Amino acid sequence: MPLELGIWRIDDKCQRIEVSSITDESRLENFLEKDISIASPNWMVIGRQVQTDYGSIIDLLAIDRDGNLIVIELKRDRTPRDVVAQVLDYASWVKNLDDDDIGRIFTAYLSKYHRAQASQSIDKAFCARFQVKEMPENLNEQQELVVVASSLDESTERIVTHLSGQYGVPINVIFFRVFKDGNNEYLTRAWFIDPTEVASVSQVGKERGEWNHEFYVSFGHGERRNWDDARKFGFISAGGGSWYSQTLQTLEHGNRIWVNVPGLGFVGVGIVQKPVVRVDQFMVTQDKGKEVPIKDLPLKAPDMLSQMDNSEKAEYLVGIEWIHTRPLSEAIKERGFFGNQNTVCQPTSKRWDFTISRLKQPFGVKD
C-alpha cells in the first residue's frame, strides 16, 4: 500500500485540502504527454495511442536514457485487474519491437501530435532530451510496465506485488491525486513500488537470479559531471534532483561498484571509501594526506558547482578508491550487457551476472 499524502493549508490554523480523483483521465494523459517528467525525469515520450498488431491501443509509449521502452497505461473505466492484464498483453508486443519499429512509432507520433517537429529524428530528439552525444547502440533490451491509477483494490495490489517480487516482472503503478483549494488544483504522485526496485529486474519473462553483491552505477558524463574528474579525484556523482541522487545513499564503505557511462560502456570499477555528501562538502586527499575541498580544485565539468547551495538540485558525491579505470574512448560495451536508468542499483538479473563475468578480466578483477 503506498503512503497516503495529505496537504494542509496554513493560515491561522491548519486546514486540510480535500483530495479527489481525476475524473477526466484524458486530461491526465495530456499532462503526461506534454511533460513526462511528472512521472519520471528519465523518460521521453515516443508514442501516444500506439496501435499494436493485436488491434489494441497503448496510451503512451516512452523510452528511457538506456534505450529501454516503458508502456504507460491509464486505468480509465476498466477494473484494476483488467488494466493489469492489458498492460501484460502489451508487453508481449512491445518486447519484439526493433529499432526501425521504434523509429516509425516516433515519426507517427510527431506527425500526429507535434507536426512542427515532424522532420526531427528520434536520434536527435533522444540526444537533446538526455544530453548525450548518441543513442544507445541496442534499443529495447528491457521493458517496463506502468499502470496509472488513482487507486487499486487489495487483490490487484497483491497481483502486482507478486508479479514484481516473485517473478521479476518489471511492473509498477503510479497513483495520481488532485487536491483542490478553491480555484487552485494540485497534482500529486506516488509510486506503488520503489521504482529503483522495479528497474533492476530483467526483461519481462526472463528468469531473475540472486544479487551478486556488485553494485551497478550509471555515470552521466556531461556538463554537470566529467569522467576525467571522477577518475582523478576519486568519486562518482549524481545531481539535478533527488530522483537521480537519492540512490547514492544505498552505497556503504567497502561496496564494489562498476561504472557505466550510458551510450558508451563500462569505464571503471572501484571500492566505496566515503559516504555521499553534497559537492561543497566533498574532500579530496592530496599528496602527503592533505585534504582539499573539491570545489577549490580545477574541474573539467563546468557546471558541477552551479547548484551547490540548492540541497535538491546540487551534485552529490561518493568517494571511491579505483581498482581500474579507463578513458571514455576505451569504454567496454557488448551486446547483452546490463543497463539501468537509476544512478545506483543492485541488479538481480542474469544479464548482470553475465556483464560482471565479461568485465572482470579486462578490468583486472580476479575474485
Structural domains in the chain, CATH included, are: 9-198 (3.40.1350.10), 214-359 (3.10.590)
pLDDT at 302 over 70: yes
- For the chain, the average pLDDT equals 88
pLDDT at 21 over 80: no
pLDDT at 206 over 60: no
pLDDT at 202 over 50: no
Instruction: Specify the pTM.
Output: 0.72
Residues forming a β-bridge with 214: 256
Alpha carbons 104 and 118: distance in angstroms, whole number: 12
**Residue 204 has what pLDDT?**
43
Alpha carbon 7 to its chain's center: 27
Residues forming a β-bridge with 318: 236
pLDDT at 349 over 60: yes
Which of the residue ranges 88-102, 118-132, 160-174, 343-357 would you say has the lowest mean pLDDT? Answer: 160-174
Q: Which are the contacts of 168, defined by CB distance < 8 A and separation ≥ 6?
A: 201, 202, 206, 207, 208, 348, 349
Ranked by mean pLDDT, the top range of 138-147, 203-212, 289-298 is: 289-298
Arithmetic mean of pLDDT, 346-356: 88
Ranked by mean pLDDT, the top range of 13-22, 85-94, 199-208 is: 85-94
* Grid cell 580476479 in the structure block, residue: 366
CA proximity to 271, closest of 258, 256, 251: 256
